[in-house]
Structure 1
Amino acid sequence: MVSTPKAPDPEKTAAAQSGMNRDTALTQQAINMVNQVTPDGKLTYNQTGTSSFVDSKGNTVTTPTYTATTTLSPQQQAIKNQTDAASLNLGTIANERSNFLKDYLAKPFDVNAETEKKLYDLGTARLDPRFEQQRDELNTRLIASGIRPGTAAYDQQMSQFEQSRNDAYNNLALTGRQQAFNEASYERAQPLNEISALLSGSQVQSPSFVNTPSANVGGVDYSGLVQNKYNAEVQQSNAAMGGLFGLLSAPFQMFKFSDIRLKRDIRRVGTLDNGLPVYSYRMKDGGPYELGLMAHEVEEIRPEAVITHESGFKMVDYERAV
């Protein structure tokens, strides 16, 4: 009899799909791990072990693990060795120089008073002669204008002159102090700058590589394929069932060629109540799929329903056979 296909097991289908997805991922990873060879060195990938995990069904899944190895050319390796040695020396010196920082930084920052005084003295040595000359010129100009010493106008002019000279000396003092502060700051920061420069020359350099071209491997929709196959089998089963019922109920021609030698793409699809197998097939001379019997099998059960055509091929009277 014609049977309805069994529906696919969702758990088995999902497990198979997961396995195929994992295979796709591993294939894609292997394709993307392209070994690189450059004039300065090479980068190679090698499988160095495996890792395992337990999936949702309690099964242990094992996947490969890889290691990327960088190898420099002999010339670049020699440069690296020298650079590493120089960096180590700079780092060692920086470490040694930093030992005194604890006591050095514990001392309070102090502007050197001697430097400040020296700068002030240098400034006044230039200002004093100029101010004396300007005072004499002002005195001469006032007297020539009829403003004599001891008058209010004279005293006012001389007072303004002294005030401007005072301002100049005050500005000189402030400028000298700022310059002294800058010099003291520079001297205090000099050891720190030296250590910072040494450390910057001893930094670890990370290797860089070109980007590996990425290749994508399309996954297999196994779940969809299983479902499509099941749907096709159901449709084929339904068609066979309908065809079988039609075979049993439809009126037949008196005789019909049913010799197996004339048929191709033969597939058994069911069985009649009298035990005769029913097949799906196509005639060798073309045409669509048909449902029918095989003459040599009908001959064994209903010999009266079979005749031999003058061409030598057997024919079946379907009404008698059924």
Structure 2
Amino acid sequence: MVNQDTPYGNISYNQTGTSTYTGADGKTYSVPQFTQTTTLNPQQQETLDQSQQAATNIASTANSLSSTGLSQLSQPVDTSGAPALQTSLGSGYTSTLGNDYSTNLGSGYTSNIGNGYTTSLGSDYNTSFGGDVSQAMTNAKNAVMDQYTPTLDRNAEATRAQELASGVRPGSAAYSANEQTIGDNYTRAADQATQTAQSVQNQLFNQQQQQAAYTDSALLNQANFTNNSALNQAQFGNSALLNQFNSQNNAALNQAQFGNSALLNSANFNNSANSQWLQNYYTQRDQPLNELSALLSGSQVQNAAGTTSSTPSTQVAGTDYSSLVNQQYQNQYQQYQNTLSGISSLGTGLLSFL
């Protein structure tokens, strides 16, 4: 075995005995046994002492916190001091709008326009116009013929006198031709008189039509004006009533909504206070256990001995038992390392035990 000097201290080996083994060949072999001693330098020793003291303090604090926490948990939950939880908005909350809210516009609202509105244009309105103008046509034709006839008669007499002077006798071709000419003149005059009479008739018809149209248009305009006035008056009155109705109902609705909103806000505030009180109560009740949990889960200072170099093993030459001796030494050294690790994690072990 070789002693070690490290920056953290030194390790020494002292033979404290031997182990005897009987080999397969029947011979007895003696293997020395050693005791390893680790001596920390003053700084590392102080660190170890402080770590052990810290572990003791942690264990003491954890024990105190667990006692306090378990003591509080052993007490029944008492929420009698919490503000009352409000589950009703009370009689002041309304789902109706009351008497101030109206669903009727009243007797002043009208669905008819009244006596001022007319659906008839009166007896003066013309659906037909004018009288019988056929007599006027006859009169016009007769008047024209009265102008043409004296001339036609004189011309006929002159023609017959000329025939007689010329020796043209009735029944002759010349006589018949002259009579035909006289008849044609009367016919053309009659046709001209008829055309003139028809023109007079058409002119009279157009005048009667224009007069009837003018009269009907005046009556229609007057009726429209009267009806529009009556309609506007009715609409104005209805609009005023509707505006008043809406204003009154909106006021009633806003008043009810304001009251309900105030009650709801008050209930929410009270219930929020209840929730906050319970949260604070359970926080205080659980605080010791939360602190204990945080303390138990905290990381601990690692011991410096864990950074020392490993101790080289001593080989036993000349026998087949060297591997067995080396394994025994490794087991002993591992036990030493476990002891140092146990000292380092003492605080954690105590806390875990708690």
Instruction: Compute the TM-score of the two structures, normalised by the length of structure 2.
Output: 0.33
More helix as a share of residues: 2
Instruction: Compute the TM-score of the two structures, normalised by the length of structure 1.
Output: 0.35
Rg comparison, structure with higher value:
2
More strand as a share of residues: 1
